[in-house]
Amino acid sequence: MSPAATTEPADRPDVVAEVEARARGLYADALGPIGARFDFDAPPPPAETRGPPMVLLLGNHSSGKSSFINWVVGEEVQRTGIAPIDDGFTIITRGPERDAKDGAAVVTNPDLPWGDLERFGPTLVSHLRLRLVPSEALAQVALVDSPGMIDAADQRVDRGYDFAGVVRWFAERADVILLLFDPDKPGTTGETLSVLTQSLSGLEHKLLIIFNKVDRFGSMRDYARAYGALCWNLSKAIPRKDLPHIYNTYLPTEEAAGSGIPLDDFDKQRDEVRAEVMRAPQRKVDNVVSRLHQHAKRLRVHATVIDRLARERRAMALRYVGLALAALLVGWLALQVAGLFVGKDGQTRLLLWDLALVATALAAVGGMYAWERRAHARELSLDALFERAYARELVLGDGAEDLRALWASVRERVRRALDARGGAPVRLRRSEARRLDRLIGEEIKALRSRAGQGPPA
C-alpha cells in the first residue's frame, strides 16, 4: 500500500513544533537515562529532529535515481548516465546560492543533522557530500541520492564502510523512501537483498517501490514479463503474504514519446510518487513519533533481556549462598552433637577438625559457583535468554511476531552492552520498567493523537 497522507493537524507548524519538542523531552527525561544505564543506543541529537524533511532514493546505478531528482527539482543538479556516475551519498537541499560541501564539512557542522554519520568512519565521510541549490522545489525537503547498489551474486562487495548500516541510518531518519528498479535489472540479489531484508526492515510504512523507465518497453508483453520477474524476486525477499504496491513510472522525455506502450496510467502513478515526495513535510511529524515509539520498544526489549540475565545470575548466587549457609549449619550441629561425647580435652581438637571440614565445604561451594558461572557465561545463548525473558508472550502469541522483530534489531546491541560490562548485567528497576511501559502505552499514544495520526502501529 502507498503511505497514507497525514491529517490536517500535522500540517500546522505550531503542532509540529510542539510534537517535536515533547518527543525531545521524552528522549532526554526517560529514554536517555535508562538507555545510558543499559549501554543502549543514544537518542537522536536535537539537530536531527529539527532537520528538514528527508526523502531517500535507493536503487542500482541505472535505475534513474539522479534523473528523478533532476525532474523533481526542475533542473540538473545530479549527473546522469547509463554507466555508474556517483559512488557516494549526496544530500541535496535548498540554499541561498548554489554550493557544495564535502563530507568532513557536513559531519563537523553542529547545525546540520548529519553529524552522527561520522561514526561510520573516514571512508564513508569521503563518500559524502552536500549540495545546496536555490530551488523552490527544495524549500521544505532534502533529497538524498545514494550510490548504485551492486547486485553481485557472490556477495564480494567491499565499499570500505558499512553500506547497509549507512542506508539504515538514512532510512530511519527519512520521511519517504523510494526504492527504484530498472527494467533491465529487476533482481534482488547482493546489496539490494541486504537492503530489503536488513536496512529497510520495519520501515515499510514509508517505503515506495518503483518500477522505473517503463517507457522503454516495446510492447505490453515485454512489460508484463519484466514486471512479473520483479514481483517474483520481491516475493522471495519480502517475507509478507501480500506484496506492497509497486508504482510503475517513467520520466516525461522526448524519447518517452516514442514508447511502444500506452503511458497514460503510468503518468498518473508518477504524479502520485511526486505527491508523496512533496508530502514529506506533513509526514515528518508522524515519523518523529514513530521513531520515538520504536526506540522505546527496542530499549524495553534490550533492558528486559539484560535484566533476565541479571536475575538468573542473582538466583544462581543465592542458591550457592544457601549451600554455604547449609554447610555452616551442618558444621555447627555436628560440633554440638560431637561435643556431647567428648570431654574438655577433646573439644579443642574437635573444633579444629570441624572448622577444617566447614572450610573445605565452603571452598567446594565457592569453586562450584565459580565453575557454573563461567560455564553459564561461556555457553550463554542470547536467543535462548530472550525466549526465557518473554516466554509468556511468545507462548500466548501476544505480539510474538513484533517481539521477535524487535529482538532481531537489538540482539547485537545486547551483546555489545554485555561485552562492554565484562558480562556483568544490570537490573531493570521497577520504576524504570513502569516508566517505559507508561511511555509506550500512554504517552506516545497521546503524542500521536496530538499530531492527528491515530493509534501507533
In the structure, what pLDDT confidence band is assigned to residue 205 with cuts at 50, 70 and 90?
confident
State the Cα–Cα distance between residues 356 and 375, nearest whole angstrom: 28
Within 8 A by CB and 6+ apart from 123, the residues are 159, 160, 161
State the Cα–Cα distance between residues 170 and 147, nearest whole angstrom: 13
Q: For residue 28, is pLDDT > 50?
A: yes
Residues 374-406: tens digit of each pLDDT: 655 555 688 888 998 998 888 887 678 888 888
Q: Calculate the alpha carbon distances from 164 to 80, 180, 191, 197 in Å.
A: 23, 16, 8, 10
- Minimal CA–CA distance to 27: which of 4, 61, 9, 50? 50
Q: Write down the pLDDT at residue 30.
A: 92
- DSSP letter string, 409-455: HHHHHHHHHHHHTTT------HHHHHHHHHIIIIIHHHHHHHHT--S
Residues 408-435: tens digit of each pLDDT: 888 889 989 888 877 778 899 999 999 9
Q: For residue 1, is pLDDT > 60?
A: no
Average pLDDT over residues 108-123: 90
In the structure, what pLDDT confidence band is assigned to residue 6 with cuts at 50, 70 and 90?
very low
| 3 state SS of 178 | strand
* Cβ(38)–Cβ(306) below 8 Å: yes
Q: For residue 156, is pLDDT > 70?
A: no
Q: For residue 292, is pLDDT > 60?
A: yes
In the structure, what pLDDT confidence band is assigned to residue 440 with cuts at 50, 70 and 90?
very high
Across 39-53, 175-189, 213-227, the highest mean pLDDT is recorded for 213-227
* Cβ(190)–Cβ(227) below 8 Å: no
**Angle, in degrees to the nearest 10, between helices 13-26 and 444-451:** 170
Q: Write down the pLDDT at residue 385.
A: 87
Average pLDDT over residues 53-77: 88
Q: Write down the pLDDT at residue 301.
A: 95
**What percentage of the chain reaches a pLDDT higher than 70?**
79
* Cβ(128)–Cβ(103) below 8 Å: yes
Residues 325-346: tens digit of each pLDDT: 777 777 666 666 665 555 556 6
Neighbours of 242 (CB within 10 A): 8
* Cβ(138)–Cβ(175) below 8 Å: no
Q: What is the mean pLDDT of the chain?
A: 81
State the Cα–Cα distance between residues 170 and 117, nearest whole angstrom: 9
**What percentage of the chain reaches a pLDDT higher than 90?**
27
Q: For residue 165, is pLDDT > 50?
A: yes
Q: Where are the beta strands (DSSP E) in 28-78?
A: 54-59
Average pLDDT over residues 151-177: 81
Q: Write down the pLDDT at residue 379.
A: 57
Q: Write down the pLDDT at residue 248.
A: 92
Higher pLDDT, 75 or 51: 75
Across 88-92, 159-163, 339-343, the highest mean pLDDT is recorded for 88-92
Write down the residue that cell numbers 537541499 correspond to.
93
State the Cα–Cα distance between residues 278 and 176, nearest whole angstrom: 10
Q: Which of 2-16, 32-46, 194-208, 306-320 has the lowest mean pLDDT?
A: 2-16
Residues 38-49: tens digit of each pLDDT: 999 888 877 777
Q: Which of 284-288, 297-301, 388-392, 414-418 has the lowest mean pLDDT?
A: 284-288
* Cell matching residue 255: 524519447
**Angle, in degrees to the nearest 10, between helices 444-451 and 280-339:** 180
Average pLDDT over residues 303-322: 84
- Minimal CA–CA distance to 304: which of 376, 401, 403, 397? 403
* Cβ(86)–Cβ(79) below 8 Å: yes
State the Cα–Cα distance between residues 128 and 101, nearest whole angstrom: 9
Q: Write down the pLDDT at residue 456.
A: 42
Q: Write down the pLDDT at residue 5.
A: 39
